[in-house]
């Protein structure tokens, strides 16, 4: 599985980056898996400025920076979007970045790791809905992490006490990544036949 972990916020001191490092570290333990952290902060995306919906524009002239972003997405065959909850939804930068996407995610599995006061639950639900338009295969499992800012250090290491919780974020992430891998293997094979 060629997995990308997308860091869905860009502000200084963001917690999402730490969370994404934790996700990437855990994903790297999966068999036959390469993991890449993709940071929206590395792409200077203007607010979508195209004259037509990108999916329906046969003469699309994509902004070069946006072109780099969607080409990066196209390289992977599975995705974990790590998102904060801002005002009961995802960040504006992540929504804008997804507005550039056309067919890069089609029939590839994707899931969400969210965080916020209620584990980013509302952002997770919004993001799953948004991603459905990309025709990604949104898998059933996701991770809602409350208290991430106190539980993960700058290197993405989870507090051992939290890690040991019976129904905590560690178990949720492990189960989610295993499910993502299952779908990725199944869908990679299916895509190769069509
Ligand atoms: C503009 C803004 C709006 C926020 N709105 C919510 C919210 O609606 N619900 C929530 O649980 N947390 C909310 N928070 C708290 C964030 O989830 C928390 O600060 C988180 O660390 C943000 O991710 P980041 O550090 O990667 O930016 C908000 C934070 C910001 C900056």
Residue with tokens 């902004």: 63
* Per-residue model confidence as pLDDT tens digits over 137-178: 999 999 999 999 999 999 999 999 999 999 999 999 999 999
* Nearest CA, atom 4, ligand 1: 86
* Per-residue model confidence as pLDDT tens digits over 88-100: 999 999 999 999 9
* 87, 98, 173, 116: CA torsion to nearest 10: -10
What is the C-alpha separation between 77 and 101, in angstroms, rounded? 15
* Per-residue model confidence as pLDDT tens digits over 5-40: 999 999 999 999 999 999 999 999 999 999 999 999
The mean pLDDT value for 99-103 works out to: 98
| CA count, 13 A, side-chain hemisphere, 18 | 19
* Residue 110 · residue 124 · CB < 8 Å: no
Indicate the top mutation candidate among 13, 91, 94, 116 to test ligand 1's pocket, ranked by most ligand atoms within 8 A of CB: 116
What is the C-alpha separation between 80 and 13, in angstroms, rounded? 21
User: Distance from the CA of 86 to the center of ligand 1, in angstroms?
Assistant: 5
* Nearest CA, atom 28, ligand 1: 86
Q: Give all strands (DSSP E) within 11-108, no chain letters.
A: 34-39, 78-84
* Nearest CA, atom 24, ligand 1: 14
Which atom number of ligand 1 is nearest to the Cα of residue 13? 25
* Nearest CA, atom 31, ligand 1: 86
* Nearest CA, atom 8, ligand 1: 87
User: Distance from the CA of 15 to the center of ligand 1, in angstroms?
Assistant: 9
For all residues of the chain together, what is the average pLDDT?
A: 98
User: Distance from the CA of 84 to the center of ligand 1, in angstroms?
Assistant: 6
- Token pair, residue 88, equals 């009961």
Which atom number of ligand 1 is nearest to the Cα of residue 14? 25
CATH number of 2-192: 3.40.50.360
Report residues whose beta carbon is within 6 angstroms of any ligand 1 atom: 9, 11, 14-16, 84-88, 116-118, 149
């Amino acid at each position: 599985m060629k997995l990308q972990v997308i860091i869905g916020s860009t502000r200084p001191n963001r917690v999402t980056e730490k969370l994404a490092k934790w996700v990437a570290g855990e994903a790297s333990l999966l068999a036959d898996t390469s993991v890449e952290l993709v940071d929206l902060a590395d792409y200077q995306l203007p607010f979508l400025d195209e004259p037509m919906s990108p999916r329906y524009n046969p003469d699309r002239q994509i902004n070069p920076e946006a072109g780099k972003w969607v080409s990066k997405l196209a390289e992977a065959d599975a995705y974990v979007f790590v998102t904060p909850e801002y005002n009961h939804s995802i960040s504006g930068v992540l929504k804008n970045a997804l507005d550039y996407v056309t067919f890069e995610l089609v029939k590839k599995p994707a899931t969400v790791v969210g965080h916020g006061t209620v584990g980013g639950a509302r952002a997770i639900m919004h993001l799953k809905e948004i991603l459905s338009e990309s025709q990604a295969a949104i898998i059933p499992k996701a991770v809602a992490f409350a208290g991430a800012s106190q539980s993960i250090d700058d290197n993405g290491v989870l507090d051992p006490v939290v890690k040991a919780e019976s129904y905590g974020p560690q178990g949720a992430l492990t189960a989610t990544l295993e499910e993502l891998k299952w779908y990725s293997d199944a869908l990679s094979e299916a895509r190769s036949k069509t």
